[in-house]
Structure 1
Amino acid sequence: MDMQQKTSGPGPSAAPRIVIVGAGFAGLEVAKKLGRAGLEVTVVDRENHHLFQPLLYQVATAGLSATDIAEPIRKVLRGHESVTILLGEVTGIDASARRISLGDGGELAYEVLVLAAGAVDSYFGHDEWAAHAAGLKTLADAHHIRSRALLAFEEAERTTDPAEQKRLMTTAVVGGGPTGVELAGSLAELCRHTLADDFRNIAPENARILLIEAGPRLLAGFSNEASRYAEQRLRRLGVEVLTDTAVEDVRAGTIRIAGRDQAVGHTLWAAGVAASPLAAMLGAETDKGGRVLVDDTLAVPGMPGVYALGDLAHCPGPDGQPVPGLAQVAKQQGRHLGESLVRHIRDGSPLRPFRYRGRGNTAIVGRNAAVFEQGRFKVRGWFAWFAWVVVHVYLLVGFQNRVQVSIQWFWRYLTYERGARLVTEKDDLRG
């Protein structure tokens, strides 16, 4: 089956066939810019929805529902008549033939290819750990974690074995970056407040949450002051913070750290990411994290018409270091590349170099506690927490989602209640 796109006219002046792989922050922004210009584009994604990943941990900890942070791709792009959406998984890229292969056996030709497929969890050479250490990249991951977290308390309520009860109520979070910190803090609030009065035979507020970081401090991308503040706030919530502690093994119901086995109900992985496997399929030069090396225009050297951006790309910043893998970076790259491609296709203007304009780094630690830093400007506490709330509501796709999330957060702030406490999977908690 050949699903080649139609060109917009005959002869050499016809607009190129443009294919965008991935409808995350970067891919959507490119599609919007090209769509507004009337250029024919095909967007391919293996999911039918755009996911706001920065709030995925809140779905995993019952704070929000899936529909609060996801929006159908077709809905987002339906105002752009020249944009076609295909639900499918890319299984191969033939850069020399300018063709991609899809999982259903189909093929799609391109003249311009934009890769924006994001990242996957990295287990640092121990892929076997993935079976027992749940990552957090998709809605399915979030539902799985939420079900396991809630089901652990249900199982602990039933058992009469104190050791098993203690194991079920112990969670290990691996990775002390923003995701790990936010996940550990949210889990602690879920246990200490939301679930505290819901059980009769157990005390959820006594659940153990271990935050394990191999480096010397949490939030390595922030200042030392922010790291200390985050650790203090987490400890106040009852989180046991273990720095300079590497994970040696992860097995069913057990994690090995510092030479000893720790029994756990489940292990959550927030320790690292690697580029989507599409980067390797392209056959271009990559860095040690598997990201495609691109020049300052986001083009892949040696592959005319191929661009990479977002978490899949290694894009140099002004200091020579790669720009960070943040949502704001992906959105800026998408807008820049979209505008640059429109000018290039219409009048042959050279592609402009991308310049990242940092808007600061932020991470939430718990209720009324967050850190925000931009250059010398550093804020901690309630003001940073409120800024985090405003920024994340603004970045959500869709007015309805912004309203729903604002209302739910306000209600949760007043009551500590979380309405998305549904167990949708029932599996063996020894895994």
Structure 2
Amino acid sequence: MTQASHRQRVVVVGAGFGGLFAIKALRKAPVDITLINGTAYHLFQPLLYQVATGILSEGEVAPPIREVLRRQQNVDVRLGWVQDVDVENKVVSVAGPGIEYTVEYDTLIVAAGASQSYFGNDKFADHAPGMKSIDDALELRARIFGAFEVADLQTDPEAAQRWLTFVVVGAGPTGTELAGQIAELAHRNLPGQYRHIDPRKARIILVDAIGAVLNTFGDQLSAGAQRELEKLGVEVKLNTKVVGVDSTGIEVEDADGRHRIPSVTKVWAAGVAAPPLAAKLAEATGAKTDRAGRVFVEKDTTLPGHPEIFVLGDMMNLAGDDGKPLPGVAQVAIQSGRHAADQIKRRLGGKETGQPFKYFDKGSLATISRFSAVASIGKVHLSGFPAWVVWVAVHLFYLVGFKNRVTAVLHWAVSFIGRGRSERVATQQQAFARRAIREYGDPFARERAESGDLPAPTQAAAPEREPLSVRE
């Protein structure tokens, strides 16, 4: 990819839906693409909760990027985290594992997804992991299944119940789906497998500061979803704000005051924020950001004054036809990725560009339990088994790779028709690695220090880098 080739150099940051679909749409274009991503896989985030609850393996929702793009010859895949963008010289600075490098571009597509937001209470993350990455899902799997194992060892009933109380914060699709699956584990899959506890006595509590479950689905579907959750045994606590989280419980505040819920296993599924790269990009270009850190973009998804830079998906703030910002969902990322690719091809062909991005809302889906879901597709509102069939079809369609679709169907059959969970293996490393890595520091920097190339890293010198491929 040299200047002598006179081919357009397109750098894509992030291998989520936005970045991946932009790249695929450019497969026949006369461009050289460099994809920079913080992980070596593309993440199908809508099914992360099934990894956390033992239904699917991580490989089924996270195919290797190089395998996905193996037939596209105009792509160079590089591992790393973009740290800065020099918009004047058109260069991105990247920190890879133990190495730093730069990449020049003619056109830049930034689709780095979103990170979990704790609304300024980042210390909650140690005790209530989010659900934005494979690491998160595997940690939660270890915590969820480990909780039943540790509860079985307790001689104090109060201690056992503390281990058998699961609190999910956030009643959006992720939190609702996760609460439903934990309830199915406790009430359907695990009973009869323990000698000293009855998993059916587990408490699954869904907490949200707003007043509705799945509030974006409309009142009827929202109310139906809440009823279905309660039938499963989920305690739904709405208009309830989380004000404290520690290792043995969670503090909440509602109309009756402040209360403590004793619980060892907590999950945070409330709130998202743009990654730090969004703020750096906004500062470099003079663009504005919203409260969640998303960058305000032009109608064609480019940055003001910089038509060579596209910001897509969760990172962009762009109003839809209703005047509200487009939601952070996979379809927005997919369609904006294709739009950016189309703009690039038009520019290369000497055609007029700047056409506004038009989002076509294909609807929203969420599962409640096996054979039960809700679907809002235009004026069509479905619930129960019909919505679940639609959910299965849509998710199979967007799973990348034939092999992934086949194994997902097999695992769904085991879990939904039978009573098994195919992926229950969990390790101590998965449960405690987040804290251990932070205390240990950057492993690559430590290795270089031990070889005498660098000073020994301190805890403060270990940056927490968010994977760039996260999507909702």
TM-score normalised by structure 2 residue count: 0.87
Instruction: Compute the displacement of 1:156 (Å).
Output: 0.8
Could you tell me which residue of structure 1 aligns to residue 440 of structure 2?
A: none
Could you tell me which residue of structure 1 aligns to residue 43 of structure 2?
A: 51
C-alpha distance in 2 between matches for 1:370 and 1:107:
46
Could you tell me which residue of structure 2 aligns to residue 160 of structure 1?
A: 155
Secondary structure in structure 1 of the residue aligned to 2:410: helix
C-alpha distance in 2 between matches for 1:95 and 1:252:
44
Mapping of residues 157-196 of structure 1, within 5 Å: 157-196=152-191
C-alpha distance in 1 between matches for 2:416 and 2:150:
28
Letter in 1 for 2:101: G
Task: Work out whether residues 372 and 387 of structure 2, in 8 Å CA contact, stay in contact via their aligned partners in 1.
Answer: yes
Task: Work out whether residues 8 and 40 of structure 1, in 8 Å CA contact, stay in contact via their aligned partners in 2.
Answer: no
C-alpha distance in 2 between matches for 1:133 and 1:413:
27
Secondary structure in structure 1 of the residue aligned to 2:63: strand
Structure 2 residue runs of 5 or longer lacking an equivalent are 436-472
Could you tell me which residue of structure 1 aligns to residue 454 of structure 2?
A: none
Could you tell me which residue of structure 2 aligns to residue 73 of structure 1?
A: 65
Instruction: Compute the displacement of 1:375 (Å).
Output: 2.7
Letter in 2 for 1:295: E
Task: Work out whether residues 35 and 78 of structure 2, in 8 Å CA contact, stay in contact via their aligned partners in 1.
Answer: yes
Could you tell me which residue of structure 1 aligns to residue 446 of structure 2?
A: none
Task: Work out whether residues 120 and 276 of structure 1, in 8 Å CA contact, stay in contact via their aligned partners in 2.
Answer: yes
Pairing 1:252–2:247 present: yes
Letter in 2 for 1:260: H
Could you tell me which residue of structure 2 aligns to residue 6 of structure 1?
A: 2
Matched pairs, number: 422
Moved more, 269-278 or 373-382: 373-382
Pairing 1:326–2:329 present: yes
Could you tell me which residue of structure 2 aligns to residue 367 of structure 1?
A: 370
Letter in 1 for 2:373: A
Could you tell me which residue of structure 2 aligns to residue 314 of structure 1?
A: 317
Pairing 1:415–2:418 present: yes
Could you tell me which residue of structure 1 aligns to residue 352 of structure 2?
A: 349
Task: Work out whether residues 59 and 146 of structure 1, in 8 Å CA contact, stay in contact via their aligned partners in 2.
Answer: yes
Pairing 1:380–2:366 present: no
Moved more, 154-163 or 46-55: 154-163
Pairing 1:241–2:240 present: no
Could you tell me which residue of structure 1 aligns to residue 89 of structure 2?
A: 97
C-alpha distance in 1 between matches for 2:8 and 2:408:
40
Could you tell me which residue of structure 2 aligns to residue 276 of structure 1?
A: 275
Instruction: Compute the displacement of 1:94 (Å).
Output: 2.0
Mapping of residues 24-173 of structure 1, within 5 Å: 24-103=16-95, 104-173=99-168
Letter in 2 for 1:267: K
Post-superposition Cα deviations, 1:292-351, rounded to whole Å, max 9, x if no partner, equal: 111121101122311100111112211221111111121111112112211212324313
C-alpha distance in 2 between matches for 1:414 and 1:243:
32
C-alpha distance in 2 between matches for 1:372 and 1:418:
25
Letter in 1 for 2:378: G
Secondary structure in structure 1 of the residue aligned to 2:299: coil
Moved more, 342-351 or 146-155: 342-351
C-alpha distance in 2 between matches for 1:305 and 1:335:
16
Task: Work out whether residues 21 and 27 of structure 1, in 8 Å CA contact, stay in contact via their aligned partners in 2.
Answer: yes
Post-superposition Cα deviations, 1:82-133, rounded to whole Å, max 9, x if no partner, equal: 1110011111222223211111221112121110000000011111111111
Could you tell me which residue of structure 1 aligns to residue 469 of structure 2?
A: none
Task: Work out whether residues 44 and 86 of structure 1, in 8 Å CA contact, stay in contact via their aligned partners in 2.
Answer: yes
Aligned identity (percent) is: 41
C-alpha distance in 2 between matches for 1:355 and 1:303:
20
Task: Work out whether residues 37 and 342 of structure 1, in 8 Å CA contact, stay in contact via their aligned partners in 2.
Answer: yes
Could you tell me which residue of structure 2 aligns to residue 297 of structure 1?
A: 300
C-alpha distance in 1 between matches for 2:63 and 2:314:
20
Task: Work out whether residues 8 and 30 of structure 2, in 8 Å CA contact, stay in contact via their aligned partners in 1.
Answer: no
Instruction: Compute the displacement of 1:8 (Å).
Output: 6.3
What stretches of structure 1 move > 6 A for 4+ residues in a row?
Answer: none
Task: Work out whether residues 341 and 351 of structure 1, in 8 Å CA contact, stay in contact via their aligned partners in 2.
Answer: no
Instruction: Compute the displacement of 1:398 (Å).
Output: 0.7
Could you tell me which residue of structure 2 aligns to residue 287 of structure 1?
A: 290
How large is the Cα RMSD of the aligned pairs?
1.5
C-alpha distance in 2 between matches for 1:391 and 1:8:
44
Post-superposition Cα deviations, 1:178-217, rounded to whole Å, max 9, x if no partner, equal: 1110010011111111111211100111111110010111
Letter in 1 for 2:261: Q
Instruction: Compute the displacement of 1:352 (Å).
Output: 2.3
Could you tell me which residue of structure 1 aligns to residue 470 of structure 2?
A: none
Pairing 1:335–2:338 present: yes
Secondary structure in structure 2 of the residue aligned to 1:36: coil
Task: Work out whether residues 7 and 16 of structure 1, in 8 Å CA contact, stay in contact via their aligned partners in 2.
Answer: no
Instruction: Compute the displacement of 1:413 (Å).
Output: 2.2
Shift of the 363–8 alpha-carbon distance from structure 1 to 2, 3 Å rule, reads farther
Moved more, 418-427 or 214-223: 418-427
Letter in 2 for 1:62: G
Task: Work out whether residues 23 and 43 of structure 1, in 8 Å CA contact, stay in contact via their aligned partners in 2.
Answer: yes
Shift of the 100–25 alpha-carbon distance from structure 1 to 2, 3 Å rule, reads same
Secondary structure in structure 1 of the residue aligned to 2:76: strand
Structure 1 residue runs of 5 or longer lacking an equivalent are none
Post-superposition Cα deviations, 1:358-389, rounded to whole Å, max 9, x if no partner, equal: 11111111122111112321111110011101
Post-superposition Cα deviations, 1:213-254, rounded to whole Å, max 9, x if no partner, equal: 101111111111111111100011000000010101111211
TM-score normalised by structure 1 residue count: 0.95
C-alpha distance in 2 between matches for 1:244 and 1:387:
31
C-alpha distance in 2 between matches for 1:368 and 1:18:
44
Name which of 177, 195, 200 aligns with 1:200. 195
Post-superposition Cα deviations, 1:51-102, rounded to whole Å, max 9, x if no partner, equal: 1000000000111101111111111111111111001111122222321111
Letter in 1 for 2:161: K
C-alpha distance in 2 between matches for 1:248 and 1:414:
40
C-alpha distance in 2 between matches for 1:218 and 1:317:
24
Instruction: Compute the displacement of 1:35 (Å).
Output: 2.4
Moved more, 418-427 or 56-65: 418-427
